[in-house]
Chains A and B, each alone.
Chain A
Amino acid sequence: MSDRSTLRLLVVRVLVLSLLATLGGRLWYLQVLAAGDFSTAAADNRIREVITPAPRGSILDAAGRPMVRNRTALVVSVDSQALTRQPDAGIAVLHRLALVIRVPVRDLQRMIRPCAKGVPRPCWNGSPLQPVPVLADAPPQVALRIAEHQEDFPGVTAQFQAVRDYPRHSLAAHLLGYLAPITLDQLAASQRAGHRDTDLVGAAGLEKQYDSRLRGVDGVRQVTVDHAGLVTGTVSQTAPVQGGDLVTNLDARLQALAEKSLVEGLTTARKGHDKYGRPYRGTSGAVVVLGARTGAVLAMASYPSYDPTVWTGGISAQDYAQLTSAAAGVPLISRATQGEFAPGSTFKLASASAAVRGGYSLNSTYQCPGFYDVGNARFHNFEGIAEGSMNLRKALIKSCDTVFYRFGYEMWLRDGGVRPAKGQARELFARTAQAYGFGAATGLDLPAEAGGRIPDRAFKQAFWKLRRADYCAGARNPKFDALRRRLDQEFCTDGYRYRAGDAVNFAIGQGDVLVTPLQLAVAYAAMAGGGTVYRPQVAKAVLGPTGEVTWRAQPRAVRRLPIDKTTMDYIRSAMAGVTRPGGTAYGAFTDWPQDRIPIGGKTGTAEVGLTKASRQDTSWFVAFAPATDPQFVVVNMLEQVGTGGAYAAKVVRRVLDGMYGVSGQHAIFPGGRVPTALPRLRPDGTISVVPANLLAPAPAATSPAPAATSPAPAATSSGDHADLAGALGVSPCICARSPRVAGRQVPGGRPGVVATVSAAEAKARAP
């Protein structure tokens, strides 16, 4: 054989050696130098987290009646990712699904399209990887059809899921809020808080405000999986911790009464006519009931309302349009906290306080002419009636506007008028109103509260700066008529000035003044309750899974009013005359037992415009009761209705009837006090409902108090609670704690307990 052959064989040997050395070196690198990274990667590969959702806590009223709880429902969901992978992008499946669940295909497509800039609602705001619920509460036969014919419905599932249940339907819808799938933004912001892309989070109301307390901690099971995701074992496991139950200051019965009275008030008002002979529109309204000494929100109603179940399992296109439609009055908006209205004469509380601070004596007499001239402008008294001379008490009882015009005008002059010297303008009217809490959000524990508007000199400046360019352009716009151009020119040059007319309008709660019904309630509570402005508070406490109190709300004082006690007592006593003969609200309180429960109050009738085309008046009434030792404040606002005395006062009267049990019903607050006790969790997981008269710290003398000597029922966690309550003659309610739902299992449920609730409640309602 040739040497060449042998030599080449040697080359082959070297080649083979180097190949083997390469493999060995690479193996060394992977298994020694980079082993750590690969070990992590191997663990990531095979370990998955299985989430057992923590049951969300219930929302209860002060006595423990459930207002929101959980139940299981069959939810039909569409995995849009799976649909897009189908040859026709899932069109055929959607058409089949539309027929089965009776939702138009167009609506289905809208519900599952991802939200993005320029995509109108409804759209899917959650993770694109998460199936989109398209129908909650699917009838079992529909769910079965989808589950059993998966070949017809690839990417569609029908499964049991925990959904929110509203045992009292639309009751307190604006307060409770609703859940919505977590948005990608929220998810990114709260990754550390343990949120997952499949989470439902509170999107409004108490559900949003107290989301972290209600939600609990999801259980996590780490499992090992194979390449196909099939579980092969468990690595670690933590049990879910259910969310706390939120006890509110609300009383479900009072809330129901407030909502009912509001609707009745508007219905009645629509039968009346304005001065042009048109029926009142009665488009919206609100009722707020506050504890005068704590800021506790006992009831808060807003009309129009809606049934929060529309949010369960994804809101339909039609429902969402309805909630946000102007024609339907935008039911989504809470008029009590988000509606801003001119307060009219109810604002005289602040004006009277400001006048006294400005040096007007409580003992002087003031003229109440039919009109008051400021420069060349004439400001009329209500309906132009002259009432002669009167003291401040009568000015409040009669609601004489001209008395307050004078206060406003004279104090405006003292402030330096249009051109104040530096530091001259004390703006006592605006400052006093702000001290009462107007012009800023009250700090209520609900999201998205409106702040109202107190138009002081700074406001005029800011507004002018903001809009000057528009008006200056308007002044030169040939399309506008001469008057419009002149007005625009005036604003353009002088719009920043705080004019006499502004001050005069301010004094009677007109002009640019805007308040929310809640702000009005807070202001009157501050005056009636002794001078402390409280932050209104819906939530009262949070009960942990075993019923222990994990959080307790404390009354949160914001500030003291800058008004002395004498003045407050004077105003309080003056306003007690409003519901008496000669007062503007006497009509609604003719048969009220004033000797037992004196009622103080103030009417308001705010004009929204001066022409026929403008909106009808806003009708207001604020009451505090008892006037001698105020415990409650009740506010009613009716939009596009007549006078406060004629309409709003009657709504408040109905609410007070129920609270004190005046017109034959059981009193909701028999002690005449704001309840302070908390409901307790029983060992069997149910909440024991505290009878209302036992909730009160001390029974009032005005009320028979059979429970005064009874032990606190909360301590008796026995099963005879219903009997005890029944014997006491008050409404018992054994309320089942919501069936806790874990994961997608169907819970055993406790139908017996639920039945007990209905029976107990039915029994209680019987005379």
Chain B
Amino acid sequence: MSVPTFRLGPAASKDRLRRRESPLRRTDWVLTAAVLALGALGTLLVWSATRVRQESAGLDPQGFLKRHLLNLAIGLVLAVVTAAFDHRMLRAYAPIVFVASCVGLVAVLVIGSTINGAHSWIVLAGGFQLQPSEFAKVGLIVSMAMLLGEKRDGESVPRGSDVLVVLALAAVPLGLVMLQPDFGTALVLTFVILGVISVSGASAKWIVGLLAAGAIVAVLAVHLGVLKEYQLDRFKAFANPTADSHGAGYNTRQARIAIGSGGLTGKGLFKGTQTNGHFVPEQQTDFVFTVAGEELGLAGGGTIILLLGIVLWRGLSIAARAPDLFGRLVATGVVAWFAFQSFVNIGMTLGIMPVTGLPLPFVSYGGSAMIANLMAVGLLQNVHLRNTEP
């Protein structure tokens, strides 16, 4: 490759030495460590966000903590399984994963429950809920990578027809998610599609065309009244934060107060007044970053951003060194997903992005998201193991 590869840390530089070592030794441990650190931090933050409220409601103060740890454990197991999967099998399973996630998205429209305006959840027994759109992200990434990564003779870039097929395929989960309506997830899928098609090497006109189409759809959505009122309110509150301090602007204002009052080192874990007073709604899920900001300050918030940066950087390195386009596109898709979702989530708590119901990867409470995120990390490790295969 003529373009320099970016490598980080000793693990990357010792690739050659590891060539003949066991898969366990060849795992990207920096990535693993960053993800585990995020998971541990998230566990503390979710606990802090829910402890007092659970107690005052007469519920188990550690209820969320326990379920979060369970989610984390399930996710880690599935991540290991995903990482250990034979990548050939992975391609074979890709259509099944895709169809399954689309079936899930249809199911949610039929039997799902509405939470915060989005009809996105299937309520399971035992207090667990399933959010098929999270798994749809995994399914879409793998399927797109499979379609675009299938090499034809003598071609290094996908044909236009391939791109069209991919777009048609991607339109299915995208449309289903829009029907819920879950615009946050739809945006994530859009950026994943954009990222994967870009890195696949497809013609630039596709990228420009996709961006233009996205802009037109956005304008139409506003003008044709497709967006619900609460969604418009969120955008209005974003555009003019002081306008409505009790309605849509309330969440974002309380979030900024929580983070801003944290200062450099924060008020101390479990000592956040905004957190314990439950001033920030949805704090264990979409606004979990505010707990870090308030209780751990710039040190804690900065650490989370740094850890996410490491995850993304390792992901991009894995993509760069992937031996085949399939692996590269899988890694790229996962990175696009994590990057966009992290930016929007933290950005909305900081008041630089409008409020969209997206969780912070590895940190927010939420089983489906946690499991899907960790499975995606498993995919990255899977690609990484292929890179270093003997």
Q: Which residues of A contact B (CB under 8 A)?
A: 1-13, 15-17, 19-20, 22-24, 26-28, 30-32, 34-35, 37-39, 41-43, 45-46, 224-228, 230, 232
Check B263–A31 contact: CB distance below 8 A. yes
Asked whether any CB of chain A lies closer than 8 Å to the CB of B198, the reply is: yes
Knowing A38-B257, A39-B263, say if A19 contacts B293 (CB, 8 Å): no
Q: Fill in one digit per residue for B55-77: 1 if any A CB lies within 8 Å of its CB, else 0.
A: 01000000000000000000000
What separation, in Å, do the CA atoms of A8 and B313 have in the docked complex?
15
Taking the complex as formed, is B163 at the interface, i.e. its CB lies under 8 A from any CB of chain A? no
Given contacts A10-B3, A12-B332, contact A227 B258 (CB under 8 A): no
Q: For B312, list chain A residues within 8 Å (CB).
A: 16, 20
Which of A1, A6, A16, A42 is the one whose CB lies under 8 Å from B335?
A16
Are A4 and B262 also in contact (CB < 8 A) when A9-B332, A45-B279 are?
no
Q: Nearest chain-A residue to B200 (Cβ)?
A: A5
Contacts A30-B293, A32-B263, A39-B260 known; A2 to B279 CB distance under 8 Å?
A: no
B278 at the interface (CB under 8 A from A): yes
Closest to B345 in A: A23
How far apart are B191's CB and chain A's nearest CB, in angstroms?
Answer: 10
Are B316 and A13 in contact (CB-based, < 8 A)? Answer: yes
Q: Is B256 an interface residue (CB 8 A)?
A: yes
Q: Is the CB of A8 within 8 A of B277?
A: no
Please, how many angstroms separate the alpha-carbon atoms of A2 and B1 in the complex?
A: 9
The reply on B156 being an interface residue by CB < 8 A is yes
A684 to chain B, nearest CB (A): 43
Question: CB-defined interface of B326-337 with A at 8 Å, one 1/0 digit per residue?
Answer: 001000100110
**Contact residues, B292-332 vs A (CB, 8 A):** 293, 297-298, 301-302, 305, 308-309, 312-313, 316, 319-320, 322, 324-325, 328, 332
Taking a contact as CB atoms under 8 Å apart, the answer to whether B2 and A3 are in contact is: yes
Asked if A31 meets B260 with Cβ closer than 8 Å, knowing A8-B201, A12-B332, A226-B279, the reply is yes
Provide 28 A-B residue pairs closer than 8 Å at the C-beta atoms, listed in order of the A residue.
A4-B201, A5-B156, A5-B157, A5-B201, A8-B199, A12-B195, A12-B198, A12-B199, A16-B312, A16-B316, A16-B335, A26-B347, A26-B351, A31-B259, A32-B264, A35-B261, A35-B264, A39-B263, A45-B274, A45-B277, A45-B279, A46-B273, A46-B274, A224-B273, A226-B56, A227-B279, A228-B278, A232-B277
* B1-A27 in contact (CB<8A): no
Other-chain residue from A5, A17, A31, A35 in contact with B199 (beta carbon distance below 8 A): A5
Chain B residue, CB-CB nearest to A7: B3
- Tell me if B6 counts as interface (CB < 8 A to partner A): yes
Q: In the complex, A323→B313 CA distance in Å? A: 83
- Taken together as a complex, chains A and B put the C-alpha atoms of A230 and B279 apart, in Å, by 12
Please give, as numbers and ranges, the residues of chain B lying within 8 Å of A38 by CB-CB distance: 256-257, 259-261
Known A-B contacts A23-B347, A24-B305, A27-B302; the reply to A1 vs B277 at CB < 8 A is no
Residues of A within 8 A of B336 (CB): 12
Contact of B257 among A5, A19, A42, A228 (CB under 8 A): A42
Please indicate the chain A residues that have their CB under 8 angstroms from the CB of B347 in the complex.
Answer: 22-23, 26
CB closest residue in chain A, given B297: A31
> In the assembly, what is the distance between CA of A19 and CA of B338, in Å?
12
Are A9 and B261 touching (Cβ within 8 A)?
Answer: no
Question: Judging by beta carbons under 8 Å apart, are A5 and B325 in contact?
Answer: yes
Would you call B199 and A45 a contact (CB within 8 A)? Answer: no
Q: Is the CB of A39 within 8 A of B276?
A: no
> How far is B271's CA from A224's CA once the two chains are assembled, in angstroms?
13
Given A12-B199, A27-B259, 8 additional A-B pairs, CB 8 A? A8-B201, A12-B195, A16-B309, A23-B305, A27-B298, A38-B261, A45-B277, A226-B276
Is residue B221 within 8 Å, beta carbon to beta carbon, of the partner chain? no
Instruction: Flag whether B346 is at the interface (Cβ < 8 A).
Output: yes
